[in-house]
């Protein structure tokens, strides 16, 4: 997801990675489920950002 914030006349594009983004990736990826592969396909979101998200979120099959 993309958000836009304006501060002091500057436009900053914020990339927000969500559970929906991760679930869509898992459903669409047939072989390579690594976060490195996911980050390679998302220009604005780094491997580290995805890794921090997954460490912070507690995703279970019931979520």
Which tens digit of pLDDT belongs to each residue from 25-61? 999 988 888 999 999 988 888 899 999 988 998 888 8
Burial of 50 (0-12, 13-18, 19+ CB in 10 A): buried
Q: What pLDDT, on the 0 to 100 scale, is given for residue 14?
A: 57
Least confident range from 7-11, 14-18, 19-23, 26-30: namely 7-11
pLDDT-based confidence at 12, cuts 50/70/90? low
Tell me the three state secondary structure of residue 52: helix
How many Å apart are CA 44 and CA 29, to the nearest integer?
A: 19
Q: What pLDDT, on the 0 to 100 scale, is given for residue 48?
A: 92
Question: Per DSSP, what are the bridge partners of residue 15?
Answer: 2
pTM: 0.66
């Amino acid at each position: 997801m993309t958000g836009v914030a304006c501060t002091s006349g500057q436009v900053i594009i914020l990339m927000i990675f969500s559970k929906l983004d991760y679930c869509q990736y898992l459903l669409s990826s047939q072989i390579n489920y690594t976060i490195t592969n996911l980050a390679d396909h998302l220009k604005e979101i780094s491997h580290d950002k995805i890794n921090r998200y997954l460490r912070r979120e507690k995703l279970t099959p019931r979520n």
